[in-house]
A and B are shown apart, each in its own frame.
Chain A
Amino acid sequence: MIDDVFVFDGVAHPFNFDSKNALNRAGEMFSNHLYAFHAALTPDNEPKLPPEEFLRQWTVGDIRTMVYDQSDTDMLVAMPLPLTDLYRDGLSPWEECADLAARDPERTVFWGTVNPLEGRAALDLMERQVGEYNARAFKFYNVRYDYGSPFPWRMDDPKIAFPVFEKAQELGVNLIGVHKGVPLGPQPIEHTQTWDMDGAAANFPDINFVIFHVGLPFLDETCWQLIRYPNLHASLAATINFLVRAPRMFAEILGKLLFWCGEDKIVYGSEAPIFHPQWALRAFMDFQIPQDLCEGYGYPQLTDTAKRKILGENLLRLHGMDVQATVGRLGRTPRS
């Protein structure tokens, strides 16, 4: 807990940046791109890793140490990243994430992932990830690769997307995350836009969808979607890491989200190990929206209640977990 606030981190990836894992120049470029994110957004007074320490295979033990031993995080989502055209193992394979979750079954939650373009094979894998590995949700990426080419798909596609949503429901899963906004390497960015979320949310009102990396690039449009669909939610993963370098930009993003979408629809994610979780957690707890933005634009202030919801309570609720019962069950207390 940070101060007395329960922290449920919505995304960490056990990355395999080993140079032998990259299949091609695009994979190498993407690894360097993530390293640039680390170097550019980590505050100057925090440890920045040299490339040789960052661009390596991160073990599940490394992630556990960073998230649980070195930060005030209480629970974590182990999140796969299936860039199978850029890396031999996709960069953060689901099997590694399942292993990470199995190390702390009370604290770490596994989200599965499949390629909906694979049809029956995808549905079978969903069954396996839920049945054998206790996947509590699924994360989807709208550009998948095969044979060296990108194959984009949409969240509102009745033939590609809806079967996996129906399968999730059949398996008792009603939480689905989707990567949006930030291009993952040289992929067509059109399909990382949120325009397809209306159709997904409208056709599956009993599934809660989390739009990751909210804020880039059309925040107003995304807000209007979040307003209209009670089952759409926004993750600040990566967005929160602009907090120290660009606090006013972050304040504008958060101010708009708080006013239009409300504090109940925003969740936190660290993106460890790209960013060490602790500095952003501390900065967020200490953060206030600048008063001139509150007075000039009418943004609501970021209250202690809102921080509590954003850092943990909202994501617990989306997983169907009771806040008090979970805190009590885990016996969490503020780190000394």
Chain B
Amino acid sequence: MADVLPLVLDALRDVYDPCCREKGISVVDMGLVRSADVGEDGAGRVELLLTSGWCPFAARVLTEVRERLEDVPGMAGADVEIVWDEAWTTDRLSPDARRKLRFLPDPAQVPDREAYIAAHRPSTPTGPEENSCDR
């Protein structure tokens, strides 16, 4: 099989780490998939990075990714591995995930904290910025 990464990413676009489900950020948007290929035995192989070694949901994500991988046409099985030799960083986030999450700059890049907050504060200071009462 040629480059299977796009195929695998497509299959995983609605797989969520529970921490990110409410924000609608999939494991693909989080940049958790480091690599995907197919072994000589025809089984799909995916390497996953975790955002944190403390993640209590690694097993759940691992299982769900494996199940989706097994459903990809042409895959004769699935092998999913969490890799530790590379640290996940926010650089791996998709533009969509970056829009949904707020990241504050390092203080060293903020010469005037009050000015930064004022510039980014919503216009109604006591109103919820993204109030999600609508359930």
Please report A residues at the B interface, Cβ cutoff 8 Å.
154, 156-158, 183, 188-190, 193, 195-196, 198-199, 201-202, 205, 216-218, 220-221, 223-224, 227-228, 255-256, 259-260, 296-300
Contact A198 B107 (CB under 8 A): no
Please report B residues at the A interface, Cβ cutoff 8 Å.
18-19, 21-23, 51-52, 54-57, 101-104, 106-110, 113, 117, 121-122, 125-133, 135
Return A298 CB to nearest CB of chain B, in Å: 3
**Secondary structure at chain B's binding surface: helix, strand, loop or mixed?**
loop
Task: Report how far A156 CA is from B122 CA in the complex, Å.
Answer: 18
Contact A190 B22 (CB under 8 A): yes
Query: Which of B19, B117, B126 contacts A227, CB < 8 Å?
Result: B117
Contact A221 B102 (CB under 8 A): yes
User: Known contacts being A190-B21, A217-B19, is A156 close to B132, with CB within 8 Å?
Assistant: yes
Contact A193 B133 (CB under 8 A): no
Task: Report how far A71 CA is from B69 CA in the complex, Å.
Answer: 52
19 sampled A-B residue pairs with Cβ under 8 A:
A156-B131, A157-B135, A190-B18, A190-B21, A193-B19, A195-B22, A195-B23, A202-B127, A216-B54, A221-B101, A221-B102, A228-B121, A228-B125, A260-B104, A260-B113, A297-B108, A298-B106, A298-B107, A300-B107
- Residues in A with CB closer than 8 Å to B113 are 259-260
- Residues in B with CB closer than 8 Å to A297 are 106-108
Return A103 CB to nearest CB of chain B, in Å: 35
Contact B126 A202 (CB under 8 A): yes
Task: Report how far A298 CA is from B54 CA in the complex, Å.
Answer: 26
Contact A228 B101 (CB under 8 A): no
Query: What 7 A-B pairs come out closest when comparing CB atoms?
Result: A298-B108, A298-B107, A198-B128, A189-B18, A259-B107, A190-B22, A297-B106
